[in-house]
Amino acid sequence: MAEPESARRLVTGRGIVLRGDDIDTDRIIPARYLRLITFEELGKYAFYDERFDDSGKPKPHPLNDPRFAGGAVMLVNRNFGCGSSREHAPQSLMRMGIRAFVGESFAEIFSGNCTALGLPAVRVSHEDALRLQSLVASDPTVELCVDLESLTVAAGGQTVAFTMPDPDRRSLVAGTWDSTAMLLANRDAIVAASARIPYLHGFAQSGAASQGGSRG
Amino acid sequence: MGRTLLDKVWDLHKVASLPTGQDQLFIGLHLVHEVTSPQAFQALADRGLTVLFPNRTFATVDHIVPTDGQRRPFADELAEQMMRAIEKNARTHGILFFGNTDDQGIVHIIGPELGLTQPGMTIACGDSHTSTHGALGSIAFGVGTSQIRDILATQTLSLSRPKVRRIEVTGALAPGVTAKDLIIRIIADLGVNGGIGYAYEYGGPAISALPMEARLTMCNMSIEGGARAGYINPDSVTFEYLKGRRFVPTGGDFDKAVRFWKSMASDADAEYADTYALDGNTVEPMVSWGINPGQAVGVTGRLPRVSDARPADKEALAKAYDHTGFEQGRTIQGLPVDVAFIGSCTNGRISDLREAARVVKGRKVSPRVKALVVPGSRAVLRQANAEGLPEVFREAGFEWRDAGCSMCLAMNPDKLTGRQVCASSSNRNFIGRQGSPHGRTLLMSPAMAAAAAIAGEVVDARQVLPAGGGNGRS
């Protein structure tokens, strides 16, 4: 059977080394760039304040480093994407070409947002994260291969194991990470569930399955 | 074995088991604001979908609204465009919009204030501080824009059940120590990533003794510890708080509601993934000095030295000092501040403003400090007016503003400039958070921020307070 176009079984590409623990979503996309009603322009603003000085001149940063240009796999450390729930963060990185994240750990909302965009965020040990980062730092042309079926990252003759929440892995591999259709398929069950939730019908003993909620 | 509140809420709202292994959960209350929702409404339109339960979504504006006069059109064209988008989306889909009404305010202030937030609910919003609503005994968490799209279209989400960590706070908070200090202490102890995969259940005598607004402050910052949700079991404080609020049932229906709410609390023999115990008597006023909320010390303490840190933390500490430029090992007291900000979804409620006003009354803001108070909602503003608080602040030299998120995240014109240091009652001290890439944020309670505004430097608010001291339980 043909694989759907949305399936994310394998992500390959060059790496970008972005070191540091607890890199928050305010650093990934400063709030002033959230004053937009679409995500389209966000690729320009990823890590803006770390990449450019006050006069707009580029500063030394992995995303300004020509050696990493065209990289698709971002190599990060602990608790990447903590802070705000803004999907603008993975959106901005996706729109500048990132297709997967390999790191020690990810903030929960961030990694959920990544999955919802079809971007695997996979976890490796501290030692393996450092190893992959130094491998790519010394040879940015090395091709990384993030394989969601074997749960490994292969690069430069090395293979390291990763973990990720199984539901995320399954939805990426199956290509069902855009979940709206899957959820809406259970429409009858949704309406049935609403009928037994007391506060949705003013705490009446038995609720009608009205699309009516609390009073007011 | 008994069940936790999380288990009960989860089971009640479960719609189906999904092929991915996750559960499909009904979302009882969906709150939206202008920043993270327009793209979701557009996605809905692109797919020809409608909002399935429009009366379970409520909308407001908070992030981008100016706080020095909210006349339309806003001076910032981008802000005006966002305002128009949410007005149109709410109108198109029949969603109640508070943004143009006397109920406008920060989404996490107005939800509880209006009684929309109730025990036993599942609550989601495209905002990480949605954890706030757990204070009333709901399971409440932030979501991204793709999930907003899912809720609008289906009123459900695909989710994995988190583990529950019981955070047991024994003893009592000392006078002058607030819920803000307690939650910062917990984050400093457990780490900013310690809560990943968990919901935090706060309990114990020191938590039961907290009034509702202090509980909201606690749960608000759960996400700063990595926990997507945090909650407190509903009790008489909760029911008293809810009684008479607009979206809360009345009369006999209120009694039915209370019976339901009580039934949702964790059982006495509930099983937890793990427990963390803290003696409330050991908590002192806390001040953050670094670039995440866990990098914080007690007000009588000193900034840590990188050389003394655990190996895993050294790099983060070095990065923090690289940004702040503060001297390692110095006392936190005496650190000069340039700005004081009192407000936000963490500490923009009436009790927060009262606490700050007690410190400020009869004193003057230091000439080196720009100080502002931003009420969390128009209702808070009205109550403050009724109590004469604006006069107290203005006489001292504070600016008194309209309701909004303001300098918590600087999406409106309220921003730090250059390397300013801000004593802030908000929730995040991330690099650039308050609008200047070089700015520095010291998180603290409203009373501590008020005291810093007066002194022009970090001081122990307990030594500034009028006789009797404050205990954060207004």
* Residue given tokens 């979504």 in the structure block: B57
Residue B331 placed within a domain:
yes
Residue B468 placed within a domain:
no
pLDDT tens for A54-76 read: 999 999 999 999 999 999 999 99
Compute the 3-state secondary structure of chain B and give helix, strand, coil in percent, each to the nearest 5: 40, 20, 45
The mean pLDDT value for B28-34 works out to 98
Q: What is the distance in angstroms between the Cα of B10 and the nearest Cα belonging to chain A? A: 11
Residue B474 placed within a domain:
no
The answer to whether residue B410 scores a pLDDT higher than 80 is yes
Do A122 and A44 share a structural domain?
Answer: yes
pLDDT tens for B412-428 read: 999 999 999 999 999 99
The answer to whether residue B472 scores a pLDDT higher than 80 is no
Q: Are A153 and A159 in contact (CB under 8 A)?
A: yes
Residue A128 placed within a domain:
yes
Residue B10 placed within a domain:
yes
Burial class, B1, CB count within 10 angstroms (exposed 0-12 / middle 13-18 / buried 19+) = exposed
Do A107 and A200 share a structural domain?
Answer: no
Supply B392's token pair. Answer: 């107290």
Residue A72 placed within a domain:
yes
Give chain A positions within 8 Å (CB) of B11: none
What is the pLDDT, as a whole number, of residue B474?
39
Do B219 and B347 share a structural domain?
Answer: no
Residue A181 placed within a domain:
no
Give chain A positions within 8 Å (CB) of B431: 24, 26-27, 49
pLDDT band for position A1 (50/70/90)?
A: low
Do B405 and B322 share a structural domain?
Answer: yes
Do A55 and A100 share a structural domain?
Answer: yes
Q: What is the distance in angstroms between the Cα of B267 and the nearest Cα belonging to chain A? A: 20
Give the count of domains, chain B: 2
Supply B435's token pair. Answer: 């609008």
Do A210 and A131 share a structural domain?
Answer: no
Do B317 and B178 share a structural domain?
Answer: no
Q: Any residues with CB less than 8 A from the CB of B400 and at least 6 apart, and which? A: B372, B373, B390, B393, B394
pLDDT tens for B269-284 read: 999 999 999 999 999 9
Give the count of domains, chain A: 2
Do B301 and B210 share a structural domain?
Answer: no
Do B312 and B239 share a structural domain?
Answer: no
Do B177 and B296 share a structural domain?
Answer: no
- Asked if A133 has any chain B CB less than 8 Å from its own CB, the reply is no
Do A165 and A203 share a structural domain?
Answer: no
Q: Are B402 and B67 in contact (CB under 8 A)?
A: yes
What is the pLDDT, as a whole number, of residue B468?
46
Q: What is the distance in angstroms between the Cα of B131 and the nearest Cα belonging to chain A? A: 11
Question: Which range marks the domain in which residue A128 is found?
Answer: 10-176
Give chain B positions within 8 Å (CB) of A20: 315-316, 319
pLDDT tens for B154-181 read: 999 999 999 999 999 999 999 999 999 9
Do B344 and B204 share a structural domain?
Answer: no
Do B442 and B322 share a structural domain?
Answer: yes
Do B435 and B359 share a structural domain?
Answer: yes
DSSP one-letter code for B277: E
Do A141 and A43 share a structural domain?
Answer: yes
Tell me the DSSP string of B294-346.
TSEEETTSBPPPGGGS-HHHHHHHHHHHHHH-PPTT-BSTT-B-SEEEE-HHH
Query: Which of B254, B274, B294 finishes a domain?
Result: B274
* Residue given tokens 């001076």 in the structure block: B75
Residue B473 placed within a domain:
no
Residue A113 placed within a domain:
yes
Residue A2 placed within a domain:
no
Give chain A positions within 8 Å (CB) of B433: 26, 31
From first CA to last CA, the distance across chain B in angstroms is 38
- Between CA B12 and CA B16 the distance in angstroms is 11
**Percent of chain A, pLDDT > 70?**
94
Q: Which of B156, B198, B258, B419 should one mutate to test binding to chain A, selecting the residue with the greatest count of A CBs within 10 A? A: B156
Q: Which of B30, B128, B157, B428 should one mutate to test binding to chain A, selecting the residue with the greatest count of A CBs within 10 A? A: B128
The mean pLDDT value for A105-113 works out to 98
Residue B420, amino acid:
Q
Maximum pairwise Cα distance, chain B: 64
The answer to whether residue B396 scores a pLDDT higher than 90 is yes
Residue B437 placed within a domain:
yes
pLDDT tens for B349-370 read: 999 999 999 999 999 999 999 9
- Asked if A54 has any chain B CB less than 8 Å from its own CB, the reply is yes
The mean pLDDT value for B212-220 works out to 98
Give chain B positions within 8 Å (CB) of A165: 160
- Between CA B214 and CA B47 the distance in angstroms is 42
- In the three-class reduction of DSSP (H, G, I as helix; E, B as strand; rest coil), residue B54 is classed as helix
DSSP one-letter code for B281: G
Give the total residue count for chain A. Answer: 216
Residue A56 placed within a domain:
yes
Here the CATH number for the domain that contains residue B99 is 3.30.499.10
Task: Give the angle A119-B200-B182 at the CA atoms, nearest 5°.
Answer: 120
Do A205 and A154 share a structural domain?
Answer: no
What is the pLDDT, as a whole number, of residue B284?
98
Do A107 and A154 share a structural domain?
Answer: yes
Query: Which of B241, B274, B307 finishes a domain?
Result: B274
Residue B224 placed within a domain:
yes
Do A155 and A106 share a structural domain?
Answer: yes
pLDDT band for position A213 (50/70/90)?
A: very low
Query: Cβ of B82 and A37 within 8 Å?
Result: yes
Supply B291's token pair. Answer: 């670039």
Do A197 and A153 share a structural domain?
Answer: no
What is the pLDDT, as a whole number, of residue B312?
86
What is the pLDDT, as a whole number, of residue A209?
40
pLDDT band for position A205 (50/70/90)?
A: low
Question: Which range marks the domain in which residue B175 is found?
Answer: 5-274
Give chain B positions within 8 Å (CB) of A119: none
Between residues B470 and B224, the one the model is more confident about: B224
**Half-sphere exposure of residue B65: CA atoms within 13 angstroms, side-chain side:** 30
pLDDT tens for B99-139 read: 999 999 999 999 999 999 999 999 999 999 999 999 999 99
Query: Which of B210, B241, B274 finishes a domain?
Result: B274
- Between CA A164 and CA A156 the distance in angstroms is 22
Tell me the β-bridge partners of B302.
B331
Average pLDDT score, chain B: 96
The mean pLDDT value for B438-443 works out to 98
Here the CATH number for the domain that contains residue A35 is 3.20.19.10
Do B293 and B266 share a structural domain?
Answer: no
- Specify the pTM: 0.96
Long-range contacts of range B47-50, CB-CB < 8 Å, 24 or more positions apart? B47/A180, B47/B153, B49/A180, B49/A184, B49/B152, B49/B153, B50/B93, B50/B153
Do B307 and B265 share a structural domain?
Answer: no
Residue B263 placed within a domain:
yes
Do A78 and A57 share a structural domain?
Answer: yes
Residue A203 placed within a domain:
yes
Do A110 and A34 share a structural domain?
Answer: yes
**Percent of chain A, pLDDT > 90?**
91
Do B243 and B128 share a structural domain?
Answer: yes
Give the total residue count for chain B. Answer: 474
Query: Cβ of A199 and B158 within 8 Å?
Result: no
Residue A5 placed within a domain:
no
User: Searching chain B, which residue's CA lies closest to the CA of residue A21?
Assistant: B316
